[in-house]
Amino acid sequence: MPKPKPVQRERPSVFDRVGALPLPARPDETSIFSRWAVEVPEDQRGADIFIGGFLDDKETDFSGALRQYKDAYTRETGRRVAYFPNARTGEVVDAIRAANRFGGPVNVVGHSYGGPDAFNAAVRAGREGLRVDNLVTLDPVTAFRAAPERGRPAAFWMNVDATPSSRDGSDWLAWVPFFAGIPSRLPTDRADRRPAVSAHHKDVDTLMVWSGAREVLDASRRPKTDILSDEQPIKAWMKTRTVRARR
């Protein structure tokens, strides 16, 4: 008697594997309901993807800067967030693909070693025609012998440089010869915005807030509504009145 074939289950989402908020479950492909798309709340579409630097996923005295920021960011916003340590570019691209399934903004943030990883993932995603709205590289550091992908990400790119008045341990670590490289090898001169913040390399929250990067992420989640222009309120008001009169 032939053995029954094992039931093949769908591979878990990237967000499930990294412990982030999961994607909504898809209906069984064998079900008659599979012909309809899954409805996903607007505020849960897309994803924010964070990529940490050297040993950022480990518990040490000089690591965990972006991981800790990610935890606070998730608590404050309730958004779907995926987190990766550096050198996981392929998994980051998988997360971008997963976020593209249901639409919504996709933001990629990389700190230190994670900066070049975020850049490379955004470039690869662009080659596949995947949506990446914003790319943020926080004081990116190029690892030994690492090279950025050729091309430019098809997203709004903000590169943030940390320019402290005096260096602390995290700043010195980012400048260790043959171990780290600042400035990075990324083509930062082609970034859409290049703010410099007087903060240490590890001060992710300060880098995000004072550079405007946090506002960029928040703005991507705001509903796009038709409101009166702040710059030309009179003209906008007259245009609205004219349209209503024609009706």
Under-70 pLDDT residues of the chain: 1-44, 224-247
Residues 179 and 171: beta-carbon distance below 8 Å = no
Indicate the helix (H) or strand (E) that contains 134: strand 134-138
Per the domain annotation, does 29 fall within a domain? no
Per the domain annotation, does 5 fall within a domain? no
Q: List the domain range (segments joined by +) for residue 174.
A: 14-19+40-221
Separation of CA 205 from chain center:
15
Indicate which CATH number applies to the domain containing 77: 3.40.50.1820
Q: What is the pLDDT of residues 150-207, one digit of tens each?
A: 888 989 999 999 999 999 989 888 888 777 888 899 999 999 999 999 999 999 999 9
Residues 103 and 60: beta-carbon distance below 8 Å = no
Per the domain annotation, does 228 fall within a domain? no
The pTM assigned to this predicted structure is 0.76
Per the domain annotation, does 241 fall within a domain? no
- What is the per-residue pLDDT for 192? 97
- What is the per-residue pLDDT for 175? 85
Per the domain annotation, does 227 fall within a domain? no
- What is the per-residue pLDDT for 167? 92
Per the domain annotation, does 124 fall within a domain? yes
- What is the per-residue pLDDT for 181? 81
Q: Count of domains in the chain?
A: 1
Per the domain annotation, does 4 fall within a domain? no
Q: Indicate if the alpha-carbon torsion angle 124, 127, 130, 132 is positive or negative.
A: positive
Contacts of 84 (CB under 8 A, 6+ apart): 18, 49, 50, 51, 52, 91, 92, 95, 114, 117
